[in-house]
Amino acid sequence: MIELYGTRITSHLLLGTARYPSPAVLAEAVKRSATEIVTVSLRRETAGGRNGGAFFEMIRGLGVRILPNTAGCHGVSEAVLTAKMAREVFRTNWIKLEVIGNHDTLQPDVFALVEAARILADEGFEVFPYTTDDLVVAERLLEAGCKVLMPWCAPIGTAAGPLNLSALRSMRAHFPEIPLIVDAGIGRPSHAATVMELGFDAVLLNTAVAGAGDPAMMAEAFAKAIDAGRQAFAAGMLEPRDMAVPSTPVIGKAVFS
């Protein structure tokens, strides 16, 4: 169970809706992932003209909560305007805030991100900021009014997996009460299990599922991996040791004379 802005969510997997082969494949992936939240880019879907409305209606029919995002925005005013439009379209105060600062890495512009987050929070939005694993930036986002953080583990779409486990581990330790959702860079179910074993609350996926040979099967695989990682964290895992430790007791063993 994870609580996001007062809403309790059972699934620890959030699913993106872009780049699927067809709406039917997307719908099946959503179903098999058992996700309760999908992200939708207002800019991407409205760029196709009338097709955007049909796509939005299909998403609404999936019976999941919609988290609109500001994907493709490169400045504060652009992101704020897109967020306001998304609120009108989807009738929700939730917004996944993206303000891209680098065209090659798609790394967020953290200065613009904090400014946009403050503006949106002041206007009643419940902001899910796509950010880096920098602790200072995270502090500023929380001060701006964010109650959820969404750090990357690698650049968007790279499928590289967690590149800096130490930074992710530090973020979890530094913000023990804040919901943390790993967003961007996950490529395999094992990557998702790894970050969940660190104690993160959820994972947001898109490319790794939509780009798979069988997106629906991959969505289910990720759901199982995320649950396994979460359960392992809750159970308490053994830490690595420098020396071997026998699994069979040596006390009381038979002695031959």
- What mean pLDDT is reported for the chain? 91
Residue 49 has pLDDT above 80, yes or no: no
Q: Hey, CA dihedral for 231, 235, 237, 238, is it positive or negative?
A: negative
Give residue 251's pLDDT. 67
Mean pLDDT computed over 140-151: 97
Active site residues: 96
Q: Domains of the chain, with CATH numbers?
A: 1-233 (3.20.20.70)
Give residue 44's pLDDT. 52
Residue 36 has pLDDT above 50, yes or no: yes
- 206 labelled binding-site residue: yes
Residues 52, 46: Cα–Cα separation, whole Å: 5
Give residue 250's pLDDT. 65
Name the band, by pLDDT with cuts 50, 70 and 90, for residue 253. low
Summarised one tens digit per residue, pLDDT across range 78-116 is 999 999 999 998 899 999 999 999 888 889 999 999 999
- 72 labelled binding-site residue: no
Give residue 228's pLDDT. 97
Lowest mean pLDDT among 48-57, 117-126, 184-193, 220-229: 48-57
- 7 labelled binding-site residue: no
- 185 labelled binding-site residue: yes
Helix (H) or strand (E) run with residue 178 in it: none
Lowest mean pLDDT among 92-96, 139-143, 157-161, 223-227: 157-161
Angle, CA of 250, 254 and 256, to the nearest 5°: 130
Name the band, by pLDDT with cuts 50, 70 and 90, for residue 254. low
Distant-in-sequence, close-in-space partners of 158: CB < 8 Å, separation ≥ 6: 185, 187
Q: Hey, CA dihedral for 61, 189, 19, 3, is it positive or negative?
A: positive
Please indicate whether residue 134 or residue 104 has the higher confidence score (pLDDT): 134
Reported pTM: 0.89
Q: Counting beta carbons within 10 angstroms of the beta carbon of residue 72, is it exposed (0 to 12), middle (13 to 18) or buried (19 or more)? A: middle
Give residue 89's pLDDT. 87
Give residue 217's pLDDT. 97
Residue 48 has pLDDT above 50, yes or no: no
Summarised one tens digit per residue, pLDDT across range 178-212 is 999 999 999 999 999 999 999 999 999 999 999 99
Summarised one tens digit per residue, pLDDT across range 50-68 is 455 677 788 888 889 999 9
